[in-house]
């Protein structure tokens, strides 16, 4: 987590420096003197580039500063405010998905402050589906549906869930596993009106003809996702054969999605464990009978989920990294 601290007084600056010594981040003081920063400029820069903003000053100042930048609980950074005496630590934005509640607790422990946690699920000791999703490294596809799950639990109603993986531990109070009209689902392939939690565990294996453009790859990728009802948010990396490591279209395609891409020699691909879709043509060109499936498995260190999909000279496959969701995340 990248953190940025902003103080307004000498006393506040001393507290910010103390906090940053325990939880590192940049430290600045707001003002007009040399070396100081402007509130609006600092907030705009850090809101766009940091995981957490920590204001040491009044809550009202922080609220007015961040308000123009707020977009979504799925993307906004954590924002925490501490008074300059270190009496209270107040998360004011992205308490669960952004981690502001936990950050407030951690900072409070450094200076002896009281963490002021106001989210309803925390106040009532109820399961928070968005916080759990964050700790399971899941993307929340429909953040607007979080309130439906939380609201039902707060009202004492039973919430149904389904999961494509076994979940260790005992479900929290109010949760019942049921595939019949679930309220939330842990899956790579969202369907229906549930709140979908998508684990970030996928590795996309890619094969393509020489000179394939990023646009062609993008069109084939959209078709691959549609054919498998796959949530692209699950993908964290890509892989291919080293013959493709200088393919401009492939590199641009991966860069556009923010995926690191790993390239393997044919010898390593041939040694990949598993059963793969062979192609005599691919064998003749690359020295290995399948590129997309084998590279995905090697990079993921886990099994294939979707086998070879071919379109317009492009092949895709998806493998997943090991994943072990756990209801007991607060205790591990």
CB-CB contact of 245 with 260 (8 Å): no
pLDDT (0 to 100) of residue 331: 46
CA distance 300 to 322: 8
pLDDT (0 to 100) of residue 329: 74
DSSP structure class, residue 138: E
CA distance 284 to 267: 14
> At the top level of CATH, which class does the domain 127-199 belong to?
alpha beta
CA distance 205 to 297: 8
How many beta carbons lie within 10 A of that of residue 165, not counting itself?
Answer: 15
Pinpoint the residues of the chain covered by CATH 3.40.1390.40.
127-199
Q: Give the pLDDT of the chain (332 residues) as one tens digit per residue.
A: 999 999 999 999 999 999 999 999 999 999 999 999 999 999 999 999 999 999 999 999 999 999 999 999 889 999 999 999 999 999 999 999 999 999 999 999 999 999 999 999 999 999 999 999 999 999 999 999 999 999 999 999 999 999 999 999 999 999 999 989 999 999 999 999 999 999 999 999 999 999 999 999 999 999 999 999 999 999 999 999 999 999 999 999 999 999 999 999 999 999 999 999 999 989 998 899 999 999 999 999 999 999 999 999 999 999 999 999 999 876 44
Pinpoint the residues of the chain covered by CATH 3.30.420.180.
202-320
Which element (helix H / strand E) includes 264? strand 261-264
CA distance 7 to 39: 10
CB-CB contact of 205 with 318 (8 Å): yes
Q: Which two tokens stand for residue 175?
A: 């949760």
pLDDT (0 to 100) of residue 74: 86
pLDDT (0 to 100) of residue 73: 86
What are the residues facing 80 on neighbouring strands?
A: 54, 91
Helix-strand-coil percent breakdown of the chain, rounded to 5? Answer: 40, 25, 35
How many beta carbons lie within 10 A of that of residue 94, not counting itself?
Answer: 26
pLDDT (0 to 100) of residue 330: 65
Alpha helices in the chain (DSSP H): 10-22, 39-49, 59-66, 100-111, 120-124, 129-135, 146-154, 214-228, 248-257, 266-270, 280-286, 292-300
CB-CB contact of 178 with 211 (8 Å): no
What phi and psi values does residue 50 have, to the nearest 5 degrees?
-120, 155
> At the top level of CATH, which class does the domain 3-118 belong to?
alpha beta
Cut 0.95: pTM above it: no
Pinpoint the residues of the chain covered by CATH 3.40.50.11220.
3-118
Q: Which two tokens stand for residue 297?
A: 């498995």
CA distance 259 to 264: 16
Q: Does domain 202-320 have CATH number 3.40.50.970?
A: no
Alpha helices in 53-198 (DSSP H): 59-66, 100-111, 120-124, 129-135, 146-154
**Which is it for the CA torsion 25, 29, 33, 38, positive or negative?**
positive
């Amino acid at each position: 987590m990248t953190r940025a601290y902003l103080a307004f007084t000498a006393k506040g600056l001393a507290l910010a420096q103390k906090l940053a010594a325990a939880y590192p981040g940049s430290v600045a003081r707001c003002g007009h003197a040399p070396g100081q920063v402007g509130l609006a400029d600092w907030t705009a820069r850090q809101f766009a580039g940091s995981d957490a903003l920590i204001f040491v000053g009044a809550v009202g100042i922080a609220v007015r500063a961040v308000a123009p930048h707020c977009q979504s609980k799925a993307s906004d950074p954590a924002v925490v405010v501490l008074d300059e005496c270190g009496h209270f630590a107040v998360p004011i934005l992205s308490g669960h998905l952004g981690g502001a509640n936990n950050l407030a607790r951690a900072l409070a422990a450094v200076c002896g402050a009281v963490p002021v946690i106001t989210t309803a699920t925390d106040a009532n000791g109820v399961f928070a589906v968005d916080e759990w999703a964050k700790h399971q490294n899941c993307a929340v596809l429909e953040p607007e549906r979080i309130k439906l799950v939380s609201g039902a639990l707060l009202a004492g109603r039973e919430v149904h869930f389904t999961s494509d993986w076994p979940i260790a531990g005992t479900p929290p109070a109010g949760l019942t596993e049921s595939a019949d009209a679930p309220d939330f689902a842990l899956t790579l392939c969202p369907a229906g009106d549930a709140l979908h939690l998508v684990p970030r565990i996928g590795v996309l294996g890619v094969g393509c003809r020489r000179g394939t453009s990023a646009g062609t790859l993008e069109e084939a990728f959209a078709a691959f996702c549609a054919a498998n009802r796959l949530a692209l948010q699950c993908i964290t990396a890509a892989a291919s054969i080293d013959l493709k490591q200088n393919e401009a279209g492939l590199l641009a395609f991966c860069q556009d999605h923010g995926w690191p891409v790993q390239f393997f020699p044919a010898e390593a691909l041939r040694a990949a464990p598993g059963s793969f879709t062979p192609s005599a043509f691919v064998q003749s060109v690359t020295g290995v009978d399948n590129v997309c499936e084998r590279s995905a498995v090697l990079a993921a260190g886990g099994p294939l989920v979707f086998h070879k999909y071919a379109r317009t000279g492009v092949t895709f496959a998806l493998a997943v990294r090991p994943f072990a969701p756990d209801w007991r995340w607060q205790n591990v």
